[in-house]
Structure 1
Amino acid sequence: MFKPSMLSLAIAACCFSVSAQTETTTENDSIEKIEVTGSRLKGVDLEGAQPLVVISSDDIKKSGANTIFDLLKDVGQLRGGEGTFSTSESGATSTSTPAGQAAASLRGLGPASTLTLINGRRVAASSFAAGTQNFVDVNSIPLAAIERIEVLATGASAIYGADAVAGVINYILKKDYEGVELNASYGDSMASSDESRRNLNLVVGQQVAGGQLTVFADYFDRNAFSAQDRDFTRSPLLKSSYSYLPKNTPNIYYDSVRSGDELATPGCATALVTTEFGEKICAYYPNEDDQLNSDLTSYSTGAIFQKDFGDISWNTDVFFSNTKSVAISSPAPINQLDDSEGPYVDESALDIFGPAIRDELLDQLRISRFETLAGRELRGFAFDARFGTPRTVEIETDALRLVSALSGSIGDWGWESAVIYSESKSDQVATKGIYNRYKYHAALAGELCSDGTIASYNTTTGTLSCSSGSLGAMYNPFLQNDSNNDALLALAQEMPTRKGKSTVMGWDARFNGDLMEFNDGVISSAFGLEIRKEKITDTPSDNAIARAENGYLVDVFGFGSSLSAAERTQWAAFSEFNVPLASTLDMQLAARYDHFDDFGSTFNPKIGFSYRPVEELIVRASYATSFRAPSLTQAGVKLRTTTARFDCGANQAVADLFCEGFGDERGNNVLELGNPQLKAEESNSISLGFALSLSENSTLTVDYWRFEHENLVDTNMTGVLARAIGDASLRHCGLVPEGAQGISFDAALCDVTDSAGLNIEQSGANMAEILDAWVAYDDPRFAELPLFRDHVLLLENTGEQTVSGIDLAYDHRFNTEVGTFGLSLDATHYLSFERNKAGSDEIEELIGSWRYPETVAGVRFNWSKGDFFSSISANYTDSYEDDISGLRRRELRELNELGELNADGSRQVSSWTTWRMNLGYDFAQTTISFNIDNLFDRDPPAAYGSSRGFDSINHDALGRSFRIALSHKF
């Protein structure tokens, strides 16, 4: 029978099966008014009035997820683009996002544009940012405490304030729980390697001291997952995707070889690689040490307490979580003391190869004099290498949250007031693979003492001496697996640390009630005030900090720093109204004013309409403005050493001078500085759609959405390079002077001039002529202006992006004699994702480009009969272009020879579909379930533009995996 209902419309608003917002009744039959994400109004029928995705407790139980990230990664609104990430994107350098953490990003706009709430209130951001974007670590939220998750993927700053540019994810905690429930699960891949996952959680709820107490505890442990554990990722896709820097036996640097070619020394552990210059060298492939998932262990516990004191209710929730993880990155490169390539070693290092090989090598080398750290002059040659041990860091993060609220009523008006304290604190220590540059170079010259100090040199006597300890022998980088030699290197190891803390303290007061009668209805309203103070610190140890007085050299190799500290106080006032314009038409109005003590003020409105011409149909539309103030990390960054990319394809002038005219992407070491002149990111969003109840058990929703996002904050090296072509103040031979900004060139570049006698630092210099003069002067390998290091860049408002698309969700249930069947479909189709290219006003279309699939979708079939339940579901990711713009020409030549490139030089990453199966049975007090992910064990599609060989944001290399779970209620 055709029996449409508003409940089915609410179901239609979701991509998963949805738990409807129901009214709960207390013993005295009073009605609890429910607040729905996206509105502060209570007791107002907003079902279907906005595109809200709800993941219910039943969805969570049957999902097979162990963490919040596992649960969210298949939600269409969170897929596509580069915003949502997990530990698969983390590394072991100081500025990396800590392993074990994860962030959620709506619409591909980045995690900083997605507001994370717990029970409608904010959570402290991770103290360690993703680049300079602060984000909430969703894995710090205990899954055992979650009753449901509500996702609103539209601008919501008028309701919630800053950061809700792309929308809101609200985690609703369990309450009113009665009894004891124990849940346990075990999962692993079906490969021979061990990537097992273990999860145990307990929930207890009972009456205590006249109130309701719910207590939970959760334990999760996951083994690491290495690229070497799969055939697909064990070997590189391209033979030419190598690094010149091997990690075992070094190469002899081309500057020290008479032929001008890099030279492999004997003893390479792998087959020699032939380079584009015809050299045969010992090479390194990053997949050798790539960790696709880190070791992770987390503990969490907490409690939710409710108690009534007459007409006043007291609600308090508190939880604490502890996460420990280990991250690994490729071994650090070894450079000279000033960080330029090719460190020098004494010629006696070749003695280990025996007289014949030694003499043969010496015949090919240019032996040069070089000065040691202590001031001696030796004769030797330069080599090319990285350390043999991967960089390894251990991270421990503690998250604490406490919210205590009072609520009640005054006449017909309800009120609520709460205080909040939330913090995230992380400690990081490098345990392996990090070496002090000065101690290492002292060891190379035989100037390192047994206690790790550096020897002093007496120029009069020509002798070295140690203030304590004994003088060590010369460390030989070509000698492998020698205990005495390895002990010398161990003296140069350091363990830099990093400590961060992020806190949020706040108070709010909210009022709800009917304002007045209007059009045979009532205008419902909500008003509120909010005060919030945020603070963040990110402090590395001294040996990981770049300092101007030391030429911005970090004491250790391959380990930058992110030094920042900032705080801000904000207050806000907001209001919201639901106005019945007619019996079938409602209007929702909201407005919010925010004032920041360090940034200024902003006003954001929202207007929405919901139209119900018949009971089975609701048409909805909204317009809102949103904003994101510069993050505390962006506001407070003092000096951040990192790597910045620049795009030669975005600006031909940049390509001609810095990339030999080639339109690839490059990377370079930079210093990022905060910018007090930053403007807030702003966004306008619109949403238009409908929810249709086709029958009592069949529903459909379709929503069009669009965001216009302006004043994006980032560094823009492409733009700085472009501006430097005409602005001499941005051009510096050698390091950028303290207090200045711009690009650092090789100091020797100032030795050449253009036809007018001007060097590169002088106004009016002809850059093309200087490039020609440099090529004639230095005869470099590459005909481009020689960039040095530590370019100084300010964070700036780099441009804008516009993104639009359509969400579709369909849900159908029908009962038969053989059981209940269900079919659900959800899909997100991106119509456009336009963004201006970095350093250019040119607008590029990202949809269909790297990591921006045009369509993502999921379909689920389920069947249940009696106590048995089952489902099979598929997740689909559309094809998109491979990221070959950053590949070197040798890689492009190999791709072309393999026939992988299209006629226009592009390549498509194939679409990918994986299937998941779930089986379960409900006994009287016990539920057992079994999941298999990637049922047909499909490898991720090849992506040559990624060093991993696949896109680890949109795809997964784990392969077929299973999870068995047991839940028992006492």
Structure 2
Amino acid sequence: MGTAVSPLWAEEQALDQDKVERIAVTGSNIMRVDMEGATPITTITADDIAKAGFATVGDALRSSNLNAFGSWGGGSNNGWGSQATVQLKGASAFHTLTLLDGKRMAKSPVMDGGAANINTIPMAAVERIEILTDGASAIYGTDAIAGVVNIILKKDFQGIQFDGRMDRPSQEGGDSSNLSFTGGLSSDKGHLVFTFEHYEVDRIMQSDRWYTQPFLKEGGNPNDYQDWVNISPTGRTLTQGGAGGWVYSAPFANADRRCADVYGDKFMGVLEDSDYPGDTLCAYDYTKAAATSVDQRRDNTLLHYTYELGDEIQLTARAYWASNETMDISAPVPGKISIPQGLPAYTTEEGLELVELLPDPYAAMTFRFDTAGDRVAEHHDNIYDYLLALNGNHDDWSWDLSVNYNKYANFTWGTGYQLVGATSDLVGYWDDASNSFVGWDPRDPNSVMPGGATANYDKRMNATYLDINGGVSLDLFELPGGLSAMYLGGGYREETLDSRVDALAEAGLIVGGNGGSGGSGERDVKAVYAEFVLPLLESVELNLAGRYDHYSDFGSTFNPQVSLRYKPVDALLLRTSWGTGFRAPTLSDLYQGTSEGFGYITNYLNCYTEGEDIDACARRDYAPTRTGGNQELEPEESESLNFGVVWNITDDISFSVDYWQLETTNLIEELSASEIVRTQAKLWEAADAAGVPRPDVSDIYPSTSISRLGNGKIDYVVSQKLNLGLSEREGLDLKADAKFDTGFGELTLGLGWSHYFKYKSTYAEAGEQILGDDLAGREGVPEDRINLTMAYHYGDHALNYYGNFIGTQTSWDYIEGTEELYELDSAWTHNLSYSYVLPWNNSVSVGVTNLTDEDPVFAYDGTYNGNLYDIRGRTYWAAFRQSF
């Protein structure tokens, strides 16, 4: 799947029956005669996706070798549970532009308006996907830094078709089903296509997979918390303050009872803690309550209509609606109850011997709020997309005009969260008069927590885009290689973002929530662009393109592109391209409101003032970091270079290889609070040594600041988004296809291989941006990704194979007791499918994905990369199609 090289699929549009047919290809506004262009394009048809065993567009794109380092595919316990992305060339998802029929797809406000959610694309409506692996800002504007994914929808379907499919993993969880209807009508002047699709998938609980369940380290002590993996210390544990010697202890003293006997089967212990001898605790098995993946229900509807208004004008109208409902289940909130008044020791009516918590300002209890139930976030995503377009042609020129409006609305209803500090006020007291405890005792499982501590974590997010584009294509003059052509166009776009969380969450008063406000803002963008095709010789074609964009908020940018194709012989094509690209700051980047998050900050300033070495500083303060948008941000910028060879060895065997470089600068990043404090300390140290006034950290990192208390402790740190980073990437994409007529059927083979030579990025250190080591081949950055396809067709029978290879990766961890780095093994997964065309306009298909039931490849600490590896395991599926 995804290895087609020659000829490239393209959207065929005949301009005149008496002229050579020209086609539209992703990455150009000019209709062309030649299918093979100067920039590399890979095409995946809907049939390819189905035969490879994938039920959704998102799964297919995320498995492509061009998505080399993997990408987000949805998961639990985060604000992105309903989302999925694709990341070409290992770049950010914000650097890959996603189009629907050449027009911008609605960007998700859940991702701050920075990327499209490919989970919303209906499989039933897709004809093919064209992936341009070259920068294309000169054509499309912002975001096309690493490439473009163009989803081409069905337009010429006739009749009625029903499709159904069921997927059933051999392990627990992850069952999925989809049902679709496609209908098409045609007349002499018009064509109508309608599709509807329903898809649903069940969640996978963490307890459904052995590697996300609790397990004891090899040779570990089952009574030692430190030797367990996948459990939380926040269960039921008293944390004594200074009056109690800072000892942690389980809340009860009964030697004959386990934590599970007292608090339920999700609690483990009583366990010891070898890092703090003498401490005991009731740990918590969160995997029995938390999901790894989410429940999803999706409905998509597409209506596409074309009508010939006259001999030279065609009307296109499209309406698209997608509705996703996602349920994200996380374990109950892990919290800490401050109990400065302490709790007395006594024995309950059930015989539970409760341990004393001595009165102290720091006396507390870590408490898993399972009594309030799981945290459940219900995400509701709705996309509305409307397109109205006119296309015309007359003699040697043609024109187009389109209006595209889309809106992406998300609402999240989150329950099971906690108000900050509210539980402290609910804790009861010992009444001497009645010689009993009055009110809620968090140590006692039979003592009911009163209401008033739970809270919702709700979010409402909306993003809208109005895009108006038009242009004229002209044939210019004859050159030695043929007729030159030009396209001149312009566009106007309006964008809005309104992303808010409820007031309590905005103030940081909700425990256990995630995903803050994206802010609110609006802007407009005006653009003019031009493109030229110059056939300098019969074998040499030069392509020039340039685009000027003016944004109402940050200003203007201009991006050129030059590409050249050379065919020394008909079977061989040499190509090269160079261009610049950009990503405009999102409205969230610019206008996000200030939010506050607490964490430990290394106090380098205090170390310096106390005469200690800054680099060896170990003083840490628990303080908030205030973050938000920055209206002074500039665009991220890129420069890309590509050299390629395409060789059509025979009519049935083709091969291509493309070497590419991509450099991105001005990357928008957010500094850690500790880096800001360290930079300030280094500035003071240098200034004091030179005997000059101490500069402020904002001189190095604009809009950042540090507030300290009178005793030198950090009060808070302000860290805004800044244009700081740089990355350098270099790789090779190889594709090959072959088709053989065996006399007993047709055999086709395909190969897609992506190899990375270099992957470097900068990091901040004391005010300087330092280009780091080459990460290619390190953990999370495999050097090699391979897709291998084989298909055998004989009459009404078809047998298909799809292989997905992820290369080895070198860890950052040394194997204990050695100086050898741990290595993550390579992984091969294999999909098989069989299809049979029945004689009644119908067909059946059966298959299995991950045939050998491979688990993810694990890092040294036992975790795995969910962006690279699928946890569903071996999955059997069956599909049926009926046409009329």
State which of 185, 208, 211 in structure 2 corresponds to 1:232. Answer: 211
State which of 478, 481, 485 in structure 1 corresponds to 2:448. Answer: 485
State which of 34, 41, 48 in structure 2 corresponds to 1:45. Answer: 34
Q: Alpha-carbon deviations, 1:158-203, whole Å to 9, x = none?
A: 0000111111111111102111111100001012x24210100111
Question: Greater CA deviation, 830-839 or 29-38?
Answer: 29-38
In structure 1, the residue corresponding to 2:455 is in which secondary structure?
A: coil
CA distance in 1, matches of 2:108, 2:276: 46
| Shift in Å, 1:808 | 0.8
State which of 678, 681, 686 in structure 1 corresponds to 2:636. Answer: 681
Residue type of the alignment partner of 2:828: T
User: Using a 3 Å threshold, how does the CA distance of structure 1 residues 353 and 105 change in structure 2: closer, same or farther?
Assistant: farther
CA distance in 2, matches of 1:283, 1:658: 37
Residue type of the alignment partner of 1:317: R
CA distance in 2, matches of 1:309, 1:116: 30
User: Using a 3 Å threshold, how does the CA distance of structure 1 residues 659 and 263 change in structure 2: closer, same or farther?
Assistant: farther
| 1:748-767 matched pairs, under 5 angstroms | 750-751=710-711, 760=712
Residue in 2 aligned with 1:878?
807
Instruction: State TM-score, norm by structure 1.
Output: 0.80
CA distance in 1, matches of 2:829, 2:465: 40
Residue in 1 aligned with 2:580?
625
Residue in 1 aligned with 2:568?
613
Asked if 1:499 corresponds to 2:495, the answer is no
CA distance in 1, matches of 2:343, 2:601: 38
Alignment length (residue pairs): 831
Matched-pair contact (CA < 8 Å) for 1:148–1:173? yes
| Shift in Å, 1:727 | 5.5
Higher helix share: 1
State which of 662, 680, 695 in structure 2 corresponds to 1:707. Answer: 662
Asked if 1:528 corresponds to 2:474, the answer is no
Residue type of the alignment partner of 2:800: S
| Shift in Å, 1:653 | 10
Residue type of the alignment partner of 1:793: S
CA distance in 2, matches of 1:647, 1:118: 47
| Shift in Å, 1:437 | 2.6
User: Using a 3 Å threshold, how does the CA distance of structure 1 residues 696 and 555 change in structure 2: closer, same or farther?
Assistant: closer
CA distance in 2, matches of 1:964, 1:612: 45
| 1:116-515 matched pairs, under 5 angstroms | 116-129=98-111, 134-191=114-171, 193-207=172-186, 210-236=189-215, 238=217, 239-240=226-227, 246-248=233-235, 250-256=236-242, 258-266=244-252, 268-269=259-260, 270-271=268-269, 272-278=271-277, 279-284=279-284, 287-310=287-310, 311-335=312-336, 342-344=338-340, 346-348=342-344, 351-352=347-348, 357-358=353-354, 361-362=355-356, 366-368=358-360, 381-388=363-370, 389-432=373-416, 434-445=417-428, 474-480=439-445, 482=446, 485-486=448-449, 488=450, 490-515=451-476
CA distance in 2, matches of 1:446, 1:537: 46
Higher strand share: 2
Asked if 1:841 corresponds to 2:769, the answer is yes
How big is the alpha-carbon RMSD for the aligned residues of Structure 1 and Structure 2?
3.4
Asked if 1:36 corresponds to 2:25, the answer is yes
User: Using a 3 Å threshold, how does the CA distance of structure 1 residues 560 and 727 change in structure 2: closer, same or farther?
Assistant: farther
In structure 2, the residue corresponding to 1:562 is in which secondary structure?
A: coil
CA distance in 2, matches of 1:509, 1:828: 36
CA distance in 1, matches of 2:666, 2:599: 19
State which of 56, 59, 62 in structure 1 corresponds to 2:45. Answer: 56
| Shift in Å, 1:855 | 0.7
In structure 2, the residue corresponding to 1:293 is in which secondary structure?
A: coil
Q: Alpha-carbon deviations, 1:581-625, whole Å to 9, x = none?
A: 111111111000000010100110000010100111101100010
| 1:872-911 matched pairs, under 5 angstroms | 872-882=801-811, 884=813, 896=816, 902-904=818-820, 906-911=821-826
User: Using a 3 Å threshold, how does the CA distance of structure 1 residues 641 and 186 change in structure 2: closer, same or farther?
Assistant: farther
Residue type of the alignment partner of 1:277: Y
Question: Greater CA deviation, 300-309 or 691-700?
Answer: 691-700
Matched-pair contact (CA < 8 Å) for 2:457–2:513? no
Matched-pair contact (CA < 8 Å) for 1:345–1:382? no
| Shift in Å, 1:928 | 1.2
CA distance in 1, matches of 2:88, 2:793: 33
| Shift in Å, 1:818 | 2.4
| Shift in Å, 1:110 | 0.8
Question: Greater CA deviation, 819-828 or 108-117?
Answer: 819-828
CA distance in 2, matches of 1:137, 1:666: 38
| 1:571-970 matched pairs, under 5 angstroms | 571-641=526-596, 670-717=625-672, 719-726=675-682, 741-743=704-706, 750-751=710-711, 760=712, 791-839=717-765, 840-844=768-772, 845-882=774-811, 884=813, 896=816, 902-904=818-820, 906-924=821-839, 925-945=841-861, 949-970=863-884
| Shift in Å, 1:556 | 4.7
Residue in 1 aligned with 2:222?
none
Question: Greater CA deviation, 589-598 or 671-680?
Answer: 671-680
CA distance in 2, matches of 1:111, 1:404: 28
The sequence identity of aligned pairs, in percent, is 26
Residue in 2 aligned with 1:772?
none
Residue type of the alignment partner of 1:268: C
Matched-pair contact (CA < 8 Å) for 1:863–1:869? yes
CA distance in 2, matches of 1:345, 1:814: 82
CA distance in 2, matches of 1:801, 1:875: 27
In structure 2, the residue corresponding to 1:87 is in which secondary structure?
A: coil
Matched-pair contact (CA < 8 Å) for 1:741–1:792? yes
Residue in 2 aligned with 1:779?
none
Residue type of the alignment partner of 2:193: T
Residue type of the alignment partner of 1:921: Y
CA distance in 2, matches of 1:647, 1:687: 44
Matched-pair contact (CA < 8 Å) for 1:332–1:390? yes
Residue type of the alignment partner of 1:261: V
| Shift in Å, 1:17 | 9.5
Matched-pair contact (CA < 8 Å) for 1:711–1:799? yes
In structure 2, the residue corresponding to 1:76 is in which secondary structure?
A: coil
CA distance in 1, matches of 2:516, 2:259: 33
Matched-pair contact (CA < 8 Å) for 2:68–2:784? no
User: Using a 3 Å threshold, how does the CA distance of structure 1 residues 644 and 591 change in structure 2: closer, same or farther?
Assistant: farther
State which of 502, 506, 509 in structure 2 corresponds to 1:545. Answer: 506
Asked if 1:562 corresponds to 2:563, the answer is no
Matched-pair contact (CA < 8 Å) for 1:591–1:606? yes
Matched-pair contact (CA < 8 Å) for 1:298–1:321? yes
CA distance in 2, matches of 1:34, 1:669: 57
| Shift in Å, 1:86 | 1.4
Matched-pair contact (CA < 8 Å) for 2:386–2:406? yes
Q: Alpha-carbon deviations, 1:757-811, whole Å to 9, x = none?
A: xxx3xxxxxxxxxxxxxxxxxxxxxxxxx777x6421001122000110011111
CA distance in 2, matches of 1:308, 1:881: 59
| 1:76-115 matched pairs, under 5 angstroms | 76-80=65-69, 84-88=71-75, 90-92=76-78, 96-97=79-80, 99-115=81-97
Instruction: State TM-score, norm by structure 2.
Output: 0.87
Matched-pair contact (CA < 8 Å) for 1:252–1:382? yes
Question: Greater CA deviation, 499-508 or 67-76?
Answer: 67-76
Question: Greater CA deviation, 866-875 or 937-946?
Answer: 937-946
CA distance in 2, matches of 1:327, 1:18: 44
CA distance in 2, matches of 1:536, 1:860: 42
